[in-house]
Amino acid sequence: MKTRLSFICAALIVLLPPTVSAQTFNKAGRASLQFLKIGVGARQTGMGESGISVIRDVNSLFWNPAGITGISSAEASFSYSRWLADMNYVAGAAAVRWGDIGTVGVSFSHLGYGDIPEALAVVESGSSDTRTGSFFTGYDMLIGLSFARQFTDNLSVGVTGKYLHEKLFEYAVTTFAFDVGTLYDTQFKGIRFAMSAQNFSGAVKYLDVGSRNEGYDIPLLFTIGASVDVVNPGDAFINAGEFHRLTLALETVNSNDYGERWHVGGEYAFDDFLFLRGGYRFNYEEGNISLGAGIRKTLGDIDVRVDYSYVSYKFLTSPQRVTLSVGF
């Protein structure tokens, strides 16, 4: 027990210095590859993105790789979101438990910009309409490979390596990054703790010439979360019968291009079939309130889950997400 607690304390010491320093300044708009901040998975986003210590399914690959140790055999998922400005965001993931060795997973996401009208800075005619009649496009892409292992009944650790590519018109940039995450289940009243550090990488440059020789950082995210099963048929604070479960979660998120943010959320489950979710994100200009729902059904040997989430935006189109997950 002392060894496990020492590991958690050491991880906190490693993660906290950048967390504290990130609160002293705000570098909004100075990081590239911003699509890495788009939440994947309707279950996670329906809870206000507060689930790194709660959710242990295949979509944990996009949040905390240690979470995939909750997969008993194999899982796969597909997510779709009609993102801002008519952009389309799709993501997929699959993971397989490799006996006692660990769990291996692959992930993919793609943000398509759609057709963008081409326009020149100026035209010879002097017209204010500088559109050429042509179109161009762009996209962001992520491919990830993950491995996670449950070292004890309480502690899981995971790591992800990622290939990142962004293209706009004729300009493109490619880089590599990695994530690390831990999950600690106290096995007392459903209390769990988790930490993740995402997008460790160097700076990227889009042009061979220019005044910004140092390039642009990518979003470096540090997240610490905790959750508790308030209502549960087993070991919980309230036992309301075998059909009811309520989990509450809290997270703090720090990044290298914004100040500290907080996420709170919850999930209610009825008979492990119907799920209702809600959450709130603090220190965001948009997308504070989120709602979600889902159903789960076993069809033969296949476990099927369909989840939906809605995130409320005041001035922009509110994104909606749908996720289909299957377990074998």
Query: In the chain, how long is the greatest CA-to-CA distance?
Result: 77
- Model-level pTM? 0.87
Task: Confirm if 148 and 102 have CB atoms less than 8 A apart.
Answer: yes
Segment 3-47, tens digit of pLDDT: 444 444 444 434 444 433 334 455 566 688 999 999 999 999 999
Closest C-alpha among 197, 216, 198, 218 to residue 206:
216
Dump pLDDT digits (tens) for 178-220. 999 999 999 998 999 999 999 999 888 877 655 556 678 999 9
CA distance 7 to 142: 30
Average of per-residue pLDDT across 245-257:
95
- Model confidence at 164, pLDDT cuts 50, 70, 90, reads very high
Give me the pLDDT at residue 206, please.
Answer: 76
Mean pLDDT of the chain: 89
Contact 267, 276 (CB under 8 A): yes
Q: Check: CB of residue 161 under 8 Å from CB of residue 145.
A: yes
Distance between CA atoms of residues 236 and 245, nearest Å: 9
Contact 50, 250 (CB under 8 A): yes
Q: Which residue has the tokens 């009208």?
A: 117
pLDDT one-digit tens code per residue, 58-85: 999 999 999 999 999 999 999 999 998 8
